[in-house]
Structure 1
């Protein structure tokens, strides 16, 4: 083998080694990125579950607020009816006199 062929062969071997090292680094980076994606998916699932629970709780609180407002209205209605009954009793008492 001539010296120029040996030089070309050594350069080729060096580049193949560099290519193999780059390939290994890219494999490691790819594995790391896949792990990161997996962790992010788990975190996203947890956040979606938390959001779902908070939405259910919010809807429950809205319903409770509607019921609470309804009970205040119910108390007002009972007071009005009580006053009307008292006025009717007064009218009946006045007629009986």
Structure 2
């Protein structure tokens, strides 16, 4: 093996080691990114759950306010209650299927 061949082999080995190092770094980074993504997905799910709960609380507060309102708002209250009854009926129908 000539001196030039040895240099080429040495260069090849160095580049191969560098590529292996870069591969390891990218695998590590990929693992970190997957963990971060999983954390973000869990956070999004938690926030969606919180949002749903807040929507229910808000709707209940609106109903409570409407019920405690004056006689001029009785019609609106009846409409909201009718809407709730229809939603409950739909849910029951879905459960019976």
TM-score by length of 1: 0.72
Residue 49 (structure 1) aligns with: 49
Gaps of 5+ in 1: 75-97
CA RMSD of aligned residues (A): 1.1
Q: How big is the shift at 1:73? A: 2.0
Residue 4 (structure 1) aligns with: 4
TM-score by length of 2: 0.72
Deviations 1:13-61 (A, max 9, x none): 0000000000000000000000000000001100000000000000000
Larger Rg: 1
- The higher-RCO structure (CA 8 Å, 6+ apart) is 2
Distance (Å, rounded) in 1 between the aligned partners of 2:28 and 2:55:
40
How many matched pairs? 72
Runs of 4+ aligned structure 1 residues displaced above 6 Å come to none
